[in-house]
Amino acid sequence: MARALLGYMSSSDPRVLARLTSENRRLRQRVADLEAQMLRLQAENDLLATSQDSPLLTLDESMQPV
């Protein structure tokens, strides 16, 4: 998608390229964070499935939608 955006913008303005690069990096990090959170929740859910006394699953405040 980043290549499509860069091709679509077709701008050689360094500010535009820096902004797109920064946004791409931020989005990739967000996806990685969400994937890690999903794995943690899946493991926690598996634990809950075998135990009756565990608390309910929750998301960290940092993972809530903005």
Interval 16-44: pLDDT, tens = 889 989 999 999 999 999 999 999 999 98
The number of distinct structural domains making up the chain is: 1
- Mean per-residue pLDDT, 6-15: 68
Please check the confidence at residue 58 and state whether its pLDDT lies above 80.
Answer: no
Reply yes or no on whether the pLDDT at 4 is more than 80: no
- Is residue 63 a part of any domain in this protein? no
The model's confidence at residue 3, banded by pLDDT at 50, 70 and 90, is low
Whether residue 59 is contained in a domain is answered as no
Q: What is the DSSP string of 8-59?
A: HH----HHHHHHHHHHHHHHHHHHHHHHHHHHHHHHHHHHHHH-SSSPPP--
Question: Within a domain: residue 4?
Answer: no
**Is 56 part of any domain?**
no
Range of the domain at 26: 12-45
- Residue 65: pLDDT over 80: no
Say whether pLDDT at 60 is over 90.
no
